[in-house]
Amino acid sequence: MMWLFIALTLSVLIDMIWRYLTGSSTVWAFDVNYMIYAVNFMLAGGFCMLHDKHVRVDAFYNMMPIRAQGIVEIIFYLFLLFP
């Protein structure tokens, strides 16, 4: 995933330099940046979910029983991932 972030940074940099030199943006930069960021988001999101490293408010979550924690996770995953 790190290499994709480097590619994203380079494509933004190329577009920024091109815009500075010519006064117009490149045709491909927005699409490439959008696709690279989407891949990074999906891979990092899956990695965080696999290793349970995503951000949550633990003040209430840790006081819940295991079954309630699972129900809360299912509801929030469905609510936040599908939109």
Under a CB-based contact definition with an 8 Å cutoff, are residues 50 and 15 in contact?
no
Q: Is 34 found in the same domain as 9? A: yes
Q: Is 47 found in the same domain as 57? A: no
Handedness of CA 10, 32, 48, 73 (dihedral sign): positive
pLDDT tens-place string over residues 10-59:
999 999 999 999 998 889 999 999 999 999 988 888 888 788 787 777 77
d(CA 76, CA 18): 42
Tell me: pLDDT of 83 over 70: no
* pTM of the predicted model as reported, rounded to 2 decimal places: 0.62
> For residue 79, what pLDDT is reported?
85
Q: Is 34 found in the same domain as 4? A: yes
Q: Is 44 found in the same domain as 13? A: yes
Q: Is 36 found in the same domain as 25? A: yes
Task: Determine the structural domain holding residue 31 and report its residue range.
Answer: 1-51
Give 80's DSSP letter. Answer: H
Q: What's the number of domains the chain is made of?
A: 2
d(CA 23, CA 12): 15
